[in-house]
């Protein structure tokens, strides 16, 4: 995988760390809203092993409107700081707006994480202009920042495959480099818990398309409902799903807890024989 000239290669699945420049994210409730907190979170994520940092200025859930100008005010200063502080780090911008993507790519971002499946028809052209990477999402036809009402699919995995690969083809046709494209089944977007679980079971079918797959399900509602746990009790379920997804072959996972995720991914990779142990000393001599 090459994202805007930066080659990403590991002996484990890659880690995309979430840093929300919002006061109302569903999970962290504004923990990185202040610039200082966001910078500290980026420092911690990189130190813990993150390969990509994903900056977002608008929550995915319904809520207060955020203008383009406000979104840029939220993310660009942190983006510029991160670019200067970590010249080799892959920086992703979580946005569905072409104008925001264009400005952030000009400021040093490498990847457009468009969770709303190309809703803005100009976002692919903006991405291509900068030679950046692009995440192709599946939303079941939802418009940005809306919740589904009784979503229905004949085969939800087939819908994910058809929609994300079609969007990838559109991206390549628009000039986005093929080596920088990822497919995101977008767990819980346009899907109820049963459908999200079906997508997780069907990940091998999506991986078999040959395009790298990004799994973004950290602490999401599917974990809460499946295990009947509160928001702060979803880490164990998230890591269980992460381990199975890594074993199946996902290329990258988008997460809140980097250290725990890295250990999970390294253990999976070591069991699979792709990664040697950090040390092997017991009874070796």
User: Which domains, ranges and CATH numbers included, belong to the chain?
Assistant: 2-271 (3.20.20.20)
Percent of the chain residues past pLDDT 70, beyond the cut:
100
Q: Over the stretch 108-153, which tens digit does the pLDDT of each residue have?
A: 999 999 999 999 999 999 999 999 999 999 999 999 999 889 999 9
Q: Between 24 and 207, where is the model more confident?
A: 207
Q: Where are the alpha helices (DSSP H) in the chain?
A: 35-48, 68-85, 98-106, 123-129, 156-174, 193-201, 203-207, 221-227, 235-248, 258-272
Q: How far is CA 19 from CA 33, 63, 83, 141, 204, in A?
A: 9, 19, 14, 26, 28
pLDDT of residue 201: 98
Q: Over the stretch 241-250, which tens digit does the pLDDT of each residue have?
A: 999 999 999 9
Name the pTM for this structure.
Answer: 0.96
CB 238 within 8 A of CB 227: no
Q: How far is CA 238 from CA 184, 205, 241, 261, in A?
A: 16, 21, 5, 9
Q: Over the stretch 185-216, which tens digit does the pLDDT of each residue have?
A: 999 999 999 999 999 999 999 999 999 999 99
């Amino acid at each position: 995988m090459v994202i805007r000239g930066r080659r990403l290669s590991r002996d484990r699945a890659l880690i995309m760390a979430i840093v929300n420049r919002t006061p109302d994210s569903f999970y962290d409730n504004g923990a990185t809203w202040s610039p200082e907190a966001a910078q500290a979170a980026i420092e911690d994520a990189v130190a813990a092993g993150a390969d990509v940092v994903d900056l977002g200025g608008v929550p995915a859930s319904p809520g207060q409107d955020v203008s383009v100008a406000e979104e840029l005010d939220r993310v660009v200063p942190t983006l510029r700081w991160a670019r200067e502080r970590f010249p080799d780090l892959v920086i992703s911008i979580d946005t569905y707006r072409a104008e925001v993507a264009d400005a952030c790519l000009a400021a040093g971002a490498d990847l457009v994480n468009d969770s709303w499946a190309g809703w803005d028809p100009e976002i692919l052209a903006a991405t291509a202009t900068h030679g950046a990477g692009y995440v192709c999402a599946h939303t079941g036809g939802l418009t940005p920042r809306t919740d589904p009402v009784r979503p229905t699919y004949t085969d939800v995995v087939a819908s994910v495959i058809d929609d994300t690969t079609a969007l990838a083809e559109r991206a390549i046709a628009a000039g986005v480099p093929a080596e920088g494209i990822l497919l995101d089944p977008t767990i819980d977007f346009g899907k109820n818990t049963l459908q999200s679980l079906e997508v997780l079971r069907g990940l091998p079918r999506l991986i078999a398309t040959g395009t790298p797959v990004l799994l973004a399900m950290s602490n999401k509602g599917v974990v809460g409902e499946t295990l009947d746990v509160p928001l702060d009790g979803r880490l164990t379920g998230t890591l269980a799903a992460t381990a199975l997804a890594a074993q199946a072959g996902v290329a990258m996972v988008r997460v809140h807890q980097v250290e725990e995720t890295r250990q999970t991914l390294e253990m999976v990779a070591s069991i699979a024989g792709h990664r040697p142990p950090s040390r092997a000393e017991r009874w070796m001599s």
